[in-house]
Amino acid sequence: MSSQPLLLMVNAFIGTAGYKKLYQELGYTVVAEWSERKAISLVRKTPPAVIVADFYHQTDFRDRLSNLESLLAAVQGAPDTRILVFYETAHQAVLDKVGARLRIDAAMTLPVQEDRLRTMLQTWIEAASG
């Protein structure tokens, strides 16, 4: 079993995978998941230290505002898991509504500033280990 903290990338459309090398450099064991259902299953079995996910809104969602609400609901019971979402500025209002109901620890607009991302993840990994 790895002593490195687990980071789950939930990939939708935007491209959280573009930072996989950075995540690994910081000391995270990285797992990628394309299916929200499979990501929820993983979170329930082995809560990761960090979830990095693409956030988007489509007007044709019938019963929810975004792609992440089911995953966010599942992770609310894992208070040690940090949640970071990447989003387009056009989706800010929807993100705010979702964030008012479900915990999101941080959100970064696209394009992501890699130095900000690095600093945040370093802070989280240090807090978890110390």
Write the pLDDT tens digit of every residue in 73-101: 999 989 999 999 999 899 899 899 989 99
Q: Read off the pLDDT band of 1 (50, 70, 90).
A: very low
103 in a structural domain: yes
**DSSP code per residue over the chain:** ---SPEEEEE-SSS-GGGGHHHHHHTT-EEEEES-HHHHHHHHHHS--SEEEEEE---TT-SS-SSSSHHHHHHHTT-TT-EEEEEE-GGGHHHHHHHHHHS--SEEEESSP-HHHHHHHHHHHHHHHH-
Given this model, what pLDDT does residue 65 score?
A: 64
Could you tell me the CATH number of the domain that includes residue 76? 3.40.50.2300
Position 17 scores a pLDDT of: 65
**Does residue 1 lie in a domain region?**
no
Q: Report pLDDT for 102.
A: 93
What is the tens place of the pLDDT at every residue in 17-66?
A: 689 899 999 999 999 998 888 999 999 999 999 999 988 876 666 656 67
- pLDDT, one tens digit per residue, over 103-122 is 999 999 988 999 999 999 99
The number of folded domains in the chain is 1
**Domain extent for 31:** 6-129
Q: Assess whether pLDDT exceeds 70 at residue 12.
A: no
